[in-house]
């Protein structure tokens, strides 16, 4: 009887922890995004906080947390960043032929964590 009561009391705690934990593929997806950033983006964009950005592109540091994009001032969204990565900008090259949709999604997910 006591064991059953204890299990009933712990059930919400266990279920709550399971809901908060990331799915097993999230870490692999984050690593993929980080690898893609290092391969394609690091030349022009910072992603970690630094004193002064000396790269030609805007910094990705806290891009989604800041509430507005560094150049346009628009609210950042996954869709907007995805389009920019795919089709480029004034000086940014397009990556639609260099990365798959899944890779671009992993890159954007990685950017969201920084």
pLDDT tens track for 8-30: 444 454 445 444 556 666 788 88
The DSSP letter of residue 19 is H
Q: How remote is the C-alpha of 75 from its chain's centroid?
A: 16
Please tell me the distance from the alpha carbon of residue 75 to that of residue 77, in angstroms, as a whole number: 6
Rounded mean pLDDT of 88-103? 94
**107: nearest Cα among 91, 85, 89:** 85
**45: nearest Cα among 106, 92, 94:** 92
Evaluated on CA atoms 74, 76, 82, 84, the torsion sign reads positive
pLDDT tens track for 27-62: 888 899 999 999 999 999 988 876 676 788 888 888
Mean pLDDT for all residues in the chain: 80
């Amino acid at each position: 009887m006591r064991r059953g009561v204890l299990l009933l009391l712990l059930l919400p705690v266990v279920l709550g922890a399971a809901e908060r934990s990331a799915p097993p593929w999230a870490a692999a997806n984050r690593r993929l995004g980080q690898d893609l950033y290092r391969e394609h983006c690091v030349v022009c964009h910072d992603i970690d906080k630094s004193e002064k950005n000396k790269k030609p592109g805007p910094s990705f540091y806290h891009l989604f947390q800041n509430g507005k994009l560094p150049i346009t001032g628009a609210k950042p969204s996954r869709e907007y960043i995805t389009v920019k990565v795919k089709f480029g900008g004034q000086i940014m090259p397009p990556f639609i032929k260099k990365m798959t949709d899944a890779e671009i999604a992993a890159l954007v997910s990685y950017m969201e964590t920084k």
